[in-house]
Amino acid sequence: MKCAYHQDRVAVGQCSNCGCYVCPECYTMISDKICCNLCAGHMYSRASMATGVAATTTSIGNTSGTGKAAVVPAEIKGWNWGAFLLNWIWSIGNNVWLGLLCWIPYAGIVMVFILGAKGNKWAWQNKKWDSIEHFRKTQRKWMWAGLGVALAYIALIVIAVIAEAATG
């Protein structure tokens, strides 16, 4: 059998909740039962809401792309420069459609800061990532692209100011 989430990988077990087959990266052990990360995320979310305490799991695993039920790893929490600097482009590339609010006058000014603060969490929840390292590597590329665009913009402003001063 093949993994339901990675068609190129051999499944090592079956989710005790939904029955899908999973590879080693796509399951979590809950109460000594195999659970796919999607079901584990839902169980984790329900248990946390009901008790105020996180569900006991051996390993949460990769829950990326499962929406609000996704458990966001502590390693990726923090400011997202790519989301802040390339807001609407980053939003499309990471399936964070809420980020398109940056096009609305006045709200957009606030939205870029919200994207910077919440970008990592939302990107993890809305897009399937191979691993935390894959996520970090991709977000680093967004950061460098954003810095490149910002520096190019500043350079153009400096050139325009110098050109205006020379002609005036």
**Predicted TM-score (pTM) of this structure:** 0.63
Residues 32 and 82 in one domain: no
Would you state the pLDDT for residue 25?
Answer: 81
Identify whether 113 is part of a domain: yes
4-52: pLDDT as tens digits: 888 888 888 899 889 999 888 888 877 778 888 888 776 655 544 454 4
Identify whether 7 is part of a domain: no
Alpha helix (H) ranges present in 28-99?
37-51, 81-85, 87-93
Q: pLDDT tier at 53 (50, 70, 90 boundaries)?
A: very low
Residues 60 and 82 in one domain: no
84-132: pLDDT as tens digits: 999 999 999 999 999 999 999 999 999 999 999 999 999 999 999 999 9
Residues 150 and 89 in one domain: yes
Identify whether 158 is part of a domain: yes
Identify whether 2 is part of a domain: no
Residue 122: domain span: 75-167
Measured over the CA atoms of residue 65, residue 71, residue 76 and residue 82, the dihedral's sign is: positive
